[in-house]
Structure 1
Amino acid sequence: MNDKTTEDLRVKRTHKLLYNALLELMDKHPFETITVKQICDLAMVHRTTFYTHFQDKFDLLTRAMNQIAEEEFKGMVDDSFSPADNFKELFSLAVKHKKLFSRLLAEDRDSLRNLLRREMGAGIRNYLAKHNSIKENSIDMQIKIEAYIGAVLGVVTWWIENNMPIEHEALYTKLNIFSEWKFAE
């Protein structure tokens, strides 16, 4: 084994130790309370080594998520995978990594995305209740509402990330396809 291969293996091992330490800590603590020192102590990696490989804990989290995505979703880029297959795989992954998904998706409760999601959901439920289109505590209805909100927020995110490539009125008109969704059960 040459020196380059040995070094690559050491880097991979260090990254894996740090990824695993972060994920283990996230099982027990909110991400924002976890420190680089805690991660390093659990991984038994010196802080200097940590900062040689990562800028901060956010960089570590991003790369850990990318590593998980590469490992877990490698089959999903195959052109034989349908959107339904991708959804099924995503839900399987959520079951497999339940604590991690729970922490990452629910932890940022005060983010703009989550605030908009809550407010939009409340508005849709109020509208549907007022128009007698909703059954109380219907799981099917909640799934439809969340799918609608997720789709709209996803498009808005895409629009912003891509420098708003069309005027907002045109975007709204294109999103008006959602008015065809049937919320009534």
Structure 2
Amino acid sequence: MKLRSSFITALFFSFILVLGACGNKEENMDSMKHENKEEKKETMDHGGMDHSGSGMLPEGLKKADKPKFEVGSPVVINADHMPGMNGAKAIVSGAYDTTVYTVSYTPTTGGEKVTDHKWVIHEELKDAGEEPLKPGTKVTLNAEHMEGMNGAEAVIDSAEQTTVYTVDYTGENGEKVTNHMWVTEDELSAK
């Protein structure tokens, strides 16, 4: 009887160990999945996103009176906001006079802080008023250039009164990008 009781006890503990190992394996798998998601979030760049704009302009934005590059002009992009952008041949689809800002913000969807994002214009800031804002000013973004941007709290890193452009170009892998917002005048050159 004593041998049978020891055998049952040993069997019971073996069963508990097997269940514990299974539970740990599931926990380890969940932990690995979470780590992989975090790695992807940290290394995510903007290359996989749709960079085309809807063509919907922010309220109050005014067309440029005398832009250096007229709508329809062929230009070359001299900026690398996105992979495949620098050196791309483009067509100007819009020209507007405004204040353009670089901003730093933490996406509303979580993830790492984005620093010196180029560009957000004055009309894309919530309750910004009429006057240009200075670096260091805290603002709320009202733009959807990137996932998690709209509604995010941000700090203005730089501000410049200039002409900004929307452009159409062919990006990486032959991707057609239309109404890309925004490229500044000094980021374009005549074709």
Same fold by TM-score, threshold 0.5 exceeded?
Answer: no
> TM-score by structure 2 length?
0.24
**TM-score (normalizing by structure 1):** 0.25
* Structure possessing the higher relative contact order (Cα contacts under 8 Å, 6 or more residues apart): 2
Whose helix proportion is higher, 1 or 2? 1
